[in-house]
A and B are shown apart, each in its own frame.
Chain A
Amino acid sequence: MEAKAVASTKLSPQTGESGTRRRRRGWVHSSKPWGAIALFIGPVMVYYGVFIIYPVLATFYYSLLNMTPTGGRIVTTFIGLGNFQRLLNDGIFIQAVKNTLRWGVVGPALEMLTATTLAVLVYFKVPLHRFYRTAWFTPVLVSGVIVGLVFRWVFNVDWGLLNVALRAIGLDRLALNWLGRRDTPLWCVIFVHYWATFGYSFILLLAGLTAIPEELIEAAYIDGASTPQTVMKVMLPMLRPTFVTVLILSFMGKMRTFNVVWALTGGGPMHSSETVATYVHTLAFGQQSLDLGYPSAIAVGWFAVVLVSVGLINRWLSRRVEQ
């Protein structure tokens, strides 16, 4: 576009046009080709509108409705905030919220701690660092459903790898029915999802470390700082903006994840590993009810919770970064 504008300006002295007119004609003739832009962007925008915006708006609308099959048709009734009131008395939903929030706190903390440590190690090129970089990132490439199924075998009480290993080293008492109790399934889910996704945070943090100017690190060494001091006082503070992004992405991931939980525990037993995502799916598709209003209300309510949470995390961490 710029090239066209320049060409037009060059031509105008030969035609003797005034500066104003030149500018106007330049704007008219050298402006962006809106037709072509519309043709290119239009389909994407239509796609976005139809498959993203419309379903979101429809979910908001459905959350205000009750849909009951009766008398040969599905009767849709506007019940205002009735579905949201029902949420407050839904014990399973409250259990799912508790589980998800627990995961949202523990998961990112565990992930950030490990990913940061490993990123620093790889940055300093520990032996076999190239192998580690690949190995730690590889689980990210595996489908969540496959990860869930594989770990379902790993946690098998009889022949699962974990219990076999525990028994082999004489820790038979710790060989539990990991997925069949009330107290362990959620932690299994947290661990498995952590295993499957921390590589993503690791790569982002490693990229953040790599972007730190080497002069700063060298300056620290020249000033007599040890490697741990350099890491703690120079590199990690410089990493904070990346840290904020990675933490938010990690948190959002925990709030939304469905496939790993579904394949590993299905939210059970007795909802002990139920998350909001699995509960919405169960209500919307797993049960016999044809009512999409209530699951939509959960989705909307949870959307608000995640939005506010991400906003708060972002604001809190951004302030610390500025300080």
Chain B
Amino acid sequence: MYKRKIFVFVAGLVAVATLLAACGPAPTPQVVTEVQEVEVTRIVAGTPEVVVVTATPEPEQPSEGPTAIVWWSHWANEPTKRVVIEKIKSDYEAEHPDVKIVLTWWDKNPMRDALRNTMTAGEGAPDITSDFCLPDEVAAGWCLPLTDVLPWENFVPGTKEASSYAALGYPDNYKYDIGLSMNMIFYNKEIFEELGIQVPDNYQFTQDEWVEISEKCSAAGYAGAADAIGNRNYPARFPVWFALFSLVGPEEFNKYYSGQQSWDTPQIRQVLDWFVQLRDAGFWPSTFSTMTIDEFHVYFHTQHKACTLYIPSWYAGRAFKPVEQGGQDPNWHFGMLRYPLMDGAVAADMLYVGYESGYHVTSATRHPDIAKDILVFASQPKYGALWTAVTNIPSAIVYDPVKDWPSDELLTELGVVPGQWNWFWEEYNKVYGGLQGGQAPTPLCDKFEQAWASAINEGLPLGLITVDEAIEMMDANLCK
């Protein structure tokens, strides 16, 4: 009898304790004495390490000590970008011993879900985070204005305006940008030479020449372009995007791109008909529908199975890493091309310039001044130079190449081989140097974004729909 009572008592105690532990409120992240390291799983050995977060960081225990700032960032699989952000973090902590930054690396989609959940729940959200859909986040009140905070004079012209959504009723500026994103076209020099394709002096083929190139490549067993939609809803849009931008110029392109203007126009038909011609000429790899974004990078730079690659400048983030981590051989040099010269193009000498993902301060922060100060700190020209030197991606922060460029010692310390990718910049300056940059900052509405994905990313390249059907789909989902 006694045993039974004791058993019931102990079991009940355990059950109640478990229940209370599960239902008890989680400690609020605030001040800490011993900052907990975020638990990570290392998936790649060596430097720089690639880490993927296995769980949402545990909240800090409130107590005396440095103030903890939680910073969420994607780019978990882009080690060079991580190196720069981690350097900013360590520099800030060195100058501010009273602050401890808990930096967490995510893949983009899980981070987006976690951010949405924590912001909606009102608990567990970070102080600083990558943006994933800034217009909606701004509209939901999740972003603190940075208008009077960031030293905008440190950024390239247009950066401030691009972080504002005045047309949607939100005139403040919300986003810290460290990287620019430029749409570029690469080509495989060896394959071009093998097939006898001569690059024009101005690095620009006409739209008809592009079709011929695709035919030649396809006949020789190469894809016209390394591109695929296995795990992204946008890569096949690039040829349409670049051609349309070149044909109609930034302002008109902006209207088409963001669903403000009907697609039933001669310009759109010209681009989409050309897009179909490319497809029929063997432009896409046979594995177009299943290859992932990382795979089609390798398809281009290591397997040498495609003649060209349409890609924004974030190519370097994935490709310029050690070969053993899936990066390209730095001794293999590709060439660059300007956008196809479309018949009647009004912006043939322009380059599309946008922005990489950036950061914003969330409204959930308990330390807005510190969080903002970190982004101000990160706006220094030396970090723009560091970004460019380490990631080989142009920076949105203006810097003096002589004064601000990181020393070879620092680069070596960060795992970068100084000068390894100089050929890339020489080619970049040769082909794109002097071109005028244009951008399209207007955000897309969700249904038009889906139409882009469905009609242009999948339907037309796979031959599932006609040009008329694609235009009909786009027009049926306009944002206006």
Known A177-B286, A180-B288, A269-B289; judge A289-B11 contact (CB<8 A). no
Stretch from B95-103, B135-143, B182-190, B364-372 contacting the other chain: B135-143
For B116, give the chain A residue with the smallest CB separation.
A290
- Distance from B305 Cβ to chain A, minimum over Cβ atoms (Å): 10
Contact B15 A39 (CB under 8 A): yes
Does B120 make an interface contact (CB < 8 A)? yes
Q: How far is the CA of A71 from the CA of B165 in the complex (A)?
A: 12
Does B26 make an interface contact (CB < 8 A)? no
Contact A270 B287 (CB under 8 A): no
For A268, give the chain B residue with the smallest CB separation.
B458
Contact A157 B286 (CB under 8 A): yes
Does A303 make an interface contact (CB < 8 A)? no
- Distance from A308 Cβ to chain B, minimum over Cβ atoms (Å): 30
- Distance from B456 Cβ to chain A, minimum over Cβ atoms (Å): 11
Contact B464 A289 (CB under 8 A): no
**Residues in chain B near residue A35, CB distance under 8 A:** 8, 12
Contact A70 B139 (CB under 8 A): yes
Contact A72 B286 (CB under 8 A): no
- The number of chain A residues with a CB under 8 A from chain B is 37
Task: Flag B137-164 by CB within 8 Å of A: 1 or 0 each.
Answer: 1011100000000000000000000000
Contact B15 A40 (CB under 8 A): yes
For A40, give the chain B residue with the smallest CB separation.
B15
Q: How far is the CA of A42 from the CA of B450 in the complex (A)?
A: 46
**Residues in chain B near residue A74, CB distance under 8 A:** 120, 140-141
**Residues in chain B near residue A81, CB distance under 8 A:** none
- Distance from B160 Cβ to chain A, minimum over Cβ atoms (Å): 20
**Residues in chain A near residue B55, CB distance under 8 A:** none
Contact A288 B133 (CB under 8 A): yes
Does A17 make an interface contact (CB < 8 A)? no
Q: How far is the CA of A71 from the CA of B464 in the complex (A)?
A: 41
Known A180-B288, A270-B454; judge A73-B140 contact (CB<8 A). yes
Does B19 make an interface contact (CB < 8 A)? yes
Contact B15 A42 (CB under 8 A): yes
For A160, give the chain B residue with the smallest CB separation.
B290
Number of A-B pairs, beta carbon distance below 8 Å: 93
Known A69-B140, A177-B286, A270-B459; judge A287-B464 contact (CB<8 A). no
For B8, B15, B18, B290, the residue with the greatest tally of chain A CB atoms inside 10 Å of its CB is B290
Contact of B140 among A179, A269, A271, A290 (CB under 8 A): A290
Contact A180 B289 (CB under 8 A): yes
**Residues in chain B near residue A42, CB distance under 8 A:** 15, 19
Contact A46 B140 (CB under 8 A): no
For B473, give the chain A residue with the smallest CB separation.
A270
Contact B19 A43 (CB under 8 A): yes
Contact A287 B458 (CB under 8 A): no
Contact A269 B464 (CB under 8 A): yes
- Distance from A194 Cβ to chain B, minimum over Cβ atoms (Å): 21
- Distance from A77 Cβ to chain B, minimum over Cβ atoms (Å): 15
Does A36 make an interface contact (CB < 8 A)? yes
Does A152 make an interface contact (CB < 8 A)? yes
Known A181-B462, A270-B464; judge A287-B18 contact (CB<8 A). no
Does A182 make an interface contact (CB < 8 A)? yes
Contact A269 B446 (CB under 8 A): no
- The number of chain B residues with a CB under 8 A from chain A is 37
Does B465 make an interface contact (CB < 8 A)? yes
Task: Flag A28-63 by CB within 8 Å of B: 1 or 0 each.
Answer: 000001011001101100100000000000000000
**Residues in chain B near residue A221, CB distance under 8 A:** none
Does A12 make an interface contact (CB < 8 A)? no
Contact B16 A39 (CB under 8 A): yes
CB-contacts of A142-160 with B (<8 A): 152, 155-158
**Residues in chain B near residue A287, CB distance under 8 A:** 446, 449-450
CB-contacts of A281-300 with B (<8 A): 285-290
Q: How far is the CA of A70 from the CA of B140 in the complex (A)?
A: 6
**Residues in chain A near residue B12, CB distance under 8 A:** 35-36, 39-40
CB-contacts of B437-454 with A (<8 A): 446, 449-450, 454
CB-contacts of B266-294 with A (<8 A): 286-290
**Residues in chain A near residue B209, CB distance under 8 A:** none
Known A69-B140, A74-B140, A288-B449; judge A43-B290 contact (CB<8 A). no
Task: Flag B400-417 by CB within 8 Å of A: 1 or 0 each.
Answer: 000000000000000000
Does B113 make an interface contact (CB < 8 A)? yes
CB-contacts of A71-108 with B (<8 A): 71-74
Task: Flag A6-43 by CB within 8 Å of B: 1 or 0 each.
Answer: 00000000000000000000000000010110011011
**Residues in chain B near residue A285, CB distance under 8 A:** 113
**Residues in chain B near residue A290, CB distance under 8 A:** 116, 136, 140
**Residues in chain B near residue A268, CB distance under 8 A:** 458
**Residues in chain A near residue B290, CB distance under 8 A:** 152, 155-157, 179-180
Contact A270 B140 (CB under 8 A): no
Contact of A69 among B15, B139, B287, B465 (CB under 8 A): B139
**Residues in chain A near residue B446, CB distance under 8 A:** 287-289
Q: How far is the CA of A289 from the CA of B132 in the complex (A)?
A: 11
Q: How far is the CA of A266 from the CA of B233 in the complex (A)?
A: 11
Contact B289 A36 (CB under 8 A): no
- Distance from B77 Cβ to chain A, minimum over Cβ atoms (Å): 17
Write the residues of chain B forming the contact surface with A, with a CB cutoff of 8 angstroms. 8, 11-12, 15-16, 18-19, 23, 109, 113, 116, 120, 132-133, 136-137, 139-141, 169, 229, 231, 286-290, 446, 449-450, 454-455, 458-459, 462, 464-465
What would 7 A/B residue contacts be, using CB atoms closer than 8 Å? A39-B8, A40-B15, A69-B139, A73-B140, A270-B462, A271-B454, A286-B109
